[in-house]
Structure 1
Amino acid sequence: MQKIMIVEDEPKIAEHLASYMNKYGYASFKVTDFNHVMDDFYKNKPDLVLLDINLPSYDGYYWCRKIRKESLCPVIFISARVGEMDQVRAIENGGDDFITKPFHPEIVMAKIRSQLRRAYGEYAIQTEERVLETKGLKLYPERLELSFKGKVVSLSKKENDIIESLMERYPRIAGREDLLEKLWDDQVYVDENTLNVNITRVRKKFEAIGIKEAIETMRGAGYRLNISWVEEEDK
């Protein structure tokens, strides 16, 4: 039975969500200590998180970032905020989807089922840990780690997804639109600069393991992995 963690400080809403989870065959648990959300996360190991933005002490963006350092499990934001920038922030902080209040329970359940299928469906099931390797560069998607010559760096989920696309497409180009589609379900809320910012972060992660100029910008097309480290070794 898949487990849903509900991080909502309005007791009635949290109870309403929990009752629907149980009705449709999911195990649910509600966070009550909003200063130590990660304690519940570690203890219960949820398959998906429903996360409000307006929370005591720390907001949902903060907790989503914390979750992303530990897990790739889907995170769906639920909030009364309806502004486009709130949805952009939710996505940029690691969220997978966004639901506005007031909401219809069936919409919530449909989005939950969709995210669980994407994360744990038949194509996501692996009997062994998946490792992508290109010329000595290794990506561990399930760990959110990138390694090269003994150096290891931790990645955010979106950094991981960008590097995964670059490695899978190499020596072909990873198109900008393809990257946007993979990283963000609803491109309407993503401006052109958002991808640029994430590419810059990925470049810094490559530099952290000793690889400079690892990403080539192909004007008007997208990005390509640059395996210049192989040429340097051959010199």
Structure 2
Amino acid sequence: MFSILLIEDDTSLYTEIKERLGQWSYTVHGVQDFSNVLAEFSQLKPDLVIIDIQLPKFDGFHWCRVIRAVSNVPIIFLSSRDHPTDMVMSMQLGADDFVQKPFHFEVLIAKIQAILRRVYNYSSNQSEFKTWCGAAVDFEKNTVSNEHGTIELTKNEIFILKLLIEKKNSIVTRDSLMNSLWDDKRFISDNTLTVNVNRLRKKLDEIDLGKQIETKVGQGYVALEEEVS
């Protein structure tokens, strides 16, 4: 049974989400003190976090940033705001998905199921290490290390990198990536994939590997094995 921390100050919506997810055998916990969400997160150690953007004290972006600093737990944002920058901001901060209010519960449940299946089945069923361009990729710790240092990736980022490395020097299409990351493309936007890959490439830049992920316009991406001059 997976545990979910729902950071939502709308009592009626919190109750409805908790009841609906309970029907799918998920245990949902709320937040008592919105000024100290991290303490409740640390005590619960949930398998997934759902965060509303508009919260008392600090907004959801703040708490995503704080949680992401100490954990790679999957995070889904909820928001009644419809500005595209909200979704982009959430993904840049390390969120795994974004759901706009009002939403169909079937969509939320499908997203939760896909993320939990991807994150936790993937972690237990895949080989722990892989070498790429002289770097050690640790799928258990979600890290990439070489002589320039170590970077830590989110679950989405490490999964994307794995898919690209498995077909190194070959194009992995955008459709293929989206089908592998999300069970149904209807629940994810093309822009979300772009944000995730750009975020991965930016982190790889920190250890001089960003150029090893090449964009093939209109097709997809390639993980290059040879060093780029």
CA-to-partner distance for each residue in 1:113-138, whole Å, 9 max, x for gaps? Answer: 343333334xx251686222225321
> Aligned Cα RMSD in Å?
3.5
CA distance in structure 2 between the aligned counterparts of 1:136 and 1:88, rounded to whole angstroms: 32
CA 1:112–1:222 in 2, change beyond 3 Å: closer, same or farther? closer
Which sits farther off after the overlay, 167-176 or 179-188? 179-188
Which sits farther off after the overlay, 210-219 or 170-179? 210-219
* Cα displacement (A) at 1:27: 1.8
Residue 36 of structure 2: aligned partner: 36
Question: Does 2:172 align with 1:171?
Answer: no
Residue 191 of structure 2: aligned partner: 190
* 1:72/1:142 contact within 8 Å kept: no
Residue 118 of structure 1: aligned partner: 118
CA distance in structure 2 between the aligned counterparts of 1:156 and 1:109, rounded to whole angstroms: 21
Residue 140 of structure 1: aligned partner: 138
Any idea what SS the aligned residue of 2:118 has?
Answer: helix
* 1:140/1:146 contact within 8 Å kept: yes
Residue 96 of structure 1: aligned partner: 96
CA distance in structure 2 between the aligned counterparts of 1:42 and 1:217, rounded to whole angstroms: 38
Q: How many residues align?
A: 226
Unaligned runs of 5+ in 2: none
CA distance in structure 2 between the aligned counterparts of 1:52 and 1:173, rounded to whole angstroms: 36
* 1:146/1:152 contact within 8 Å kept: yes
* 1:144/1:155 contact within 8 Å kept: yes
CA 1:38–1:126 in 2, change beyond 3 Å: closer, same or farther? same
Residue 17 of structure 2: aligned partner: 17
Residue 51 of structure 1: aligned partner: 51
Question: Does 2:194 align with 1:227?
Answer: no
Residue 8 of structure 2: aligned partner: 8
CA 1:45–1:210 in 2, change beyond 3 Å: closer, same or farther? same
Query: Which amino acid letter does the alignment assign opposite residue 54 of structure 2?
Result: N
Question: Does 2:217 align with 1:209?
Answer: no
CA-to-partner distance for each residue in 1:57-94, whole Å, 9 max, x for gaps? Answer: 33223323443444443322222223444344434433
Greater C-alpha Rg: 1
Any idea what SS the aligned residue of 2:115 has?
Answer: helix
Query: Which amino acid letter does the alignment assign opposite residue 190 of structure 1?
Result: N
CA distance in structure 1 between the aligned counterparts of 2:201 and 2:102, rounded to whole angstroms: 40
CA distance in structure 1 between the aligned counterparts of 2:210 and 2:112, rounded to whole angstroms: 40
CA 1:93–1:177 in 2, change beyond 3 Å: closer, same or farther? farther
Query: Which amino acid letter does the alignment assign opposite residue 15 of structure 1?
Result: T
Query: Which amino acid letter does the alignment assign opposite residue 155 of structure 1?
Result: L
* 1:88/1:189 contact within 8 Å kept: no
Q: TM-score with structure 2 length normalisation?
A: 0.75
Any idea what SS the aligned residue of 2:124 has?
Answer: coil
* 2:96/2:156 contact within 8 Å kept: no
Percent identity over the alignment? Answer: 34
* 1:48/1:75 contact within 8 Å kept: yes
Unaligned runs of 5+ in 1: none
CA 1:140–1:190 in 2, change beyond 3 Å: closer, same or farther? same
Question: Does 2:82 align with 1:82?
Answer: yes
Q: TM-score with structure 1 length normalisation?
A: 0.73
Query: Which amino acid letter does the alignment assign opposite residue 145 of structure 1?
Result: T
Residue 153 of structure 1: aligned partner: 151
